[in-house]
Structure 1
Amino acid sequence: MVDFTTPLGPLTLANPLMAASGCFGYGVEYKDALDLSQLGAVVVKGLFMTEREGHAPPRIVETPGGMLNAIGLQGIGVHRFVKERLPELRALGATTIVNVCGVTLDEYVEVCKVLSDHEGVAGIELNISCPNIKEGGIQFGCSLPGTHDVVSAVRKATNLPIMPKLTPNVTDVASFARAAEEAGADAISLVNTFLAMAIDVETRKPKLTNVMGGLSGPAIRPIAVRMTYECRQAVKIPIVGMGGIANAADVLEFMLAGANAVQIGTANFADPFIWSTVMADLEAYCTRHGITRLADLVGGVDIPKKKAAPAPACRPS
């Protein structure tokens, strides 16, 4: 028997596997494919105060190593969510974390206040890192003072656990992790997608109507693992790692780098039943290595220590 219990700040998840925001709808769409209560958590699509149409198609492009998207944070808005989706998620036994968006700092605060008044919300993932909208989140996520300000403001507005989602489109992501921790974040999630572009060589036009979008999938995994490791060295709060996770080995790689839990996103499009396979393979790995508690692997990467250079030989004078 393996203990998959995953401490995540004030939360305790049944296991470390979370459905990534933007890749799992509002969760209820998958109720006939799997038991949502068996996931560590469901992170629902990003919510603003009001409904949002997003960008015009085409807004998804496959790449050799993943997917490029510029959905534009289409969503039903927080009021429709708490009325139409949240009761069903609650009935299905899902641990629900809501991805919160905002154009202004005040909007982040107001959305979180609405969510705080409704039973069934386990936590908030602050989306301050979407690369394919021109306003809002990314303005905060690419500024150290902005990151601190939005986390601090939301911290004062809600008692729900707060987990800012960090952008990889900065020079030093660890400094943003520290800013979030200092502002009162209970955990951080990383990384969001990388700003990228694809061009149709026949038409000589961008493949996305938004011109640029966010790259996800296996192509970004080694960079995301590195950033997870860097953030683990910088902060003490829990980390949720993501970026191209497609199997149990990928999950373990992120955990060894320092992630307490992970989110699976792009791979879910290819295989909506990936969750049971990953869990079974994690259990097999633990059994093979005599591991009884999966959380014991967090931050366990074995980094070889550099050997000191030998002292130069003394020549007789």
Structure 2
Amino acid sequence: MPDLSITIAGIEMKNPLTVGSGTYGHHGRFSQFFPVETMGALVPKTIRPHQWPGNPPQRVLEVPAGLHSSVGIPSIPWDQFETEDAPRLKALNLPVIQSVIGRTEDEYAEVVRRCTDLDAFAGLELNLSCPNLKQGGLDFGYDPDAAYRLVSRAREQTDLPLIAKLAPDYSSLVPVAQAIEAAGADAVALVNAPRAMCIDADTLKPMIGNGVGALSGPAIKPMAVYMVWTLYRAISLPIFGMGGVATYRDVIEFMAAGASAVAFGTVSYVDPMALPRALRELEAWMAQNGIDDVEQLVGAAHDADFERPQSRRVA
């Protein structure tokens, strides 16, 4: 059978499939539809160093080919996360990459340090790109200098692999990615859901409680594939690709563009068995096409003579 295992940022995954933070179970409830150990790594819901209520309703709205949302990343109190969630995550038989966010550099540094001290995680994902927060997220994800400072601060707090989740912005994508690479990130994840808005034609008001939200689902996949392609050619870091993934063919597409691992997100709300089905079909497709190792797919769409840039990491 084909070898589906892959190592990304030092994290050994038995297959390249994972989930977008916040889209697959919360607080230990991870196997409602299939065993969580089916996937190569788990990325749980983003955590903050303090309790946070999230955004006002309405928080989600179905739109053509996707989901318009503005949840606002609500967080339970840290003490509850430390005593209830972290032990459950540590007990899982697969790598857990905890997603974290803060409103300031200090909050990012604090939550990175706290998560490291829990000794429960294989890596940490720095959410630099939440599209529906009034503070944080985009302030860092669009500014190379701010992103560099934040990742440098986080790097000082942990020896765990750091994966920076980047904003889906064409103009700042490469400069920000190069900045976080120089600052000591071990991988990038993209794309997060781009900002979006829906307005009610009768009330002439935004249809989401926060006014501005995000768009996810199949509608954003071509954009996401392009951004993965672009960063594969611009930086040396491994890439977690995501954005509208629903089938094994989407996985192949993202990997050929340059992703080493691929995350399922919005599709899980309408088809919770999409990931395990895609895993089976990916393995069958590889066998049928004589591909022995899934790493052969990474970057396969680029020219044969293309050489990736050298690392920009500052010693």
Q: TM-score, length-normalised on structure 1?
A: 0.93
Structure having the larger proportion of residues in strand: 1
Give the match for residue 18 of structure 1. 18
Decide whether the 8 Å contact of 2:67 with 2:217 is kept in 1.
yes
Aligned counterpart, 1:315: none
Tell me if 1:297 matches 2:293.
Answer: no
Structure 2: how far apart are the matches of 1:274 and 1:73?
24
Q: Are the counterparts in 1 of residues 190 and 228 from structure 2 also a CA contact under 8 Å?
A: yes
**Secondary structure class of the residue paired with 1:21:** coil
> 1:1-317 alignment to 2 at 5 Å?
1-26=1-26, 28-303=28-303
The CA deviation at 1:12 is 1.1
One-letter code aligned to 1:290: G
Is the contact made by 1:78 and 1:114 (CA closer than 8 Å) also made in structure 2? Answer: no
Q: C-alpha distance in 2, partners of 1:7/1:121?
A: 16
Q: CA deviation at 1:102?
A: 0.4
State the secondary structure of the residue aligned to 1:241: strand
Inter-CA distance 265–175: structure 2 relative to 1 (3 Å threshold) = same
| Partner in structure 2 of residue 308 of structure 1 | none
Unaligned runs of 5+ in 2: 306-315
**2:312 maps to what in 1?**
none
Question: Which amino acid in structure 1 is aligned with residue 28 of structure 2?
Answer: V
Secondary structure of the residue that 1:88 maps to in structure 2?
helix
* Alpha carbons 1:59, 1:69 under 8 Å: kept: yes
Structure whose CA Rg is larger = 1
Using the TM superposition, name which of 295-304 and 137-146 deviates more: 295-304
| Distance in structure 2 (CA, Å) of the matches to 1:236 and 1:157 | 23
CA shift in 2, pair 1:87/1:7, >3 Å: same
Q: Which one-letter code corresponds to 1:202 in the other structure?
A: D
1:56-77 deviation digits (Å, cap 9, x = unpaired):
1101011101001100111114
CA distance in 2: counterparts of 1:15 and 1:77, whole angstroms: 33
Count of aligned residue pairs for this structure pair: 305
Q: Tell me the distance in 2 between the aligned counterparts of 1:226 and 1:174.
A: 12
Q: Deviations for 1:227-252, whole angstroms, at most 9, x for unmatched residues?
A: 00000001111100000000000000
Note if contact 1:169-1:195 (Cα within 8 Å) is conserved in structure 2.
no
Consecutive unaligned residues in structure 1, runs of 5 or more: 306-317
Q: Distance in 2 between matches of 1:80 and 1:20?
A: 22
SS in 1 for 2:12: strand
CA distance in structure 1 between the partners assigned to 2:63 and 2:162 by the alignment: 33
Given the two structures, how large is their TM-score scaled by the length of structure 2? 0.93
SS in 2 for 1:268: helix
Quick one: percent identity of the two aligned structures?
39
Aligned counterparts of 2:79 and 2:222: Cα–Cα separation in 1: 38
User: Per-residue displacement from partner, 1:202-227 (whole Å, max 9, x unpaired)?
Assistant: 22221101111011111100000000
